[in-house]
Amino acid sequence: MTNQEIISKLPYSKPFLFVDEILKINENGVEGTYTFDENLDFYKGHFKDNPVTPGIILTEVMAQIGLVCLGIFLLDNSLNKNPSIALTSTAIEFLKPVFPNEKVTVISEKVYFRFGKLKCKVIMKNEKGDVVCTGKIAGMVISK
């Protein structure tokens, strides 16, 4: 499966698709990018006259790239063609703000994938290479 095919299998669409590209992916992890468009609705009120990307959106970007893309890749390799992935837990530490028009890179490392549960260690870096958030994300991977 190509990286673009993985993105096309994501259960999201704009404006809630937070994956621009997958740079690399294998059975142990994934690396991908997303650029925050300054016109996204949440910037209008978070914060007034000083827009910052909400932490829940940063978490969602980390989950879409670091958990869901990897889960689709892993399930495709196990011949399961219709995966559904549900987030079960997150533990994220936010270290730096992410502003409109910033491009971030998410790097995810598989901790384990067994009995339908995928757990990953995930970090997000800005274009300078600074870590902006880090943590662990887990989800259940099931067939439809």
Residue for token digits 């901790």? 111
Q: Is the peptide bond before 115 cis (omega within 30 degrees of 0)?
A: no
Q: Which residue's structure tokens are 């998410």?
A: 106
Residues labelled catalytic:
46
User: Which token pair is 33?
Assistant: 């990018």
SS3 at position 101: coil
Beta strands in the chain (DSSP E): 21-26, 29-35, 83-94, 103-114, 117-125, 131-143
Identify the three-state secondary structure at position 97: coil
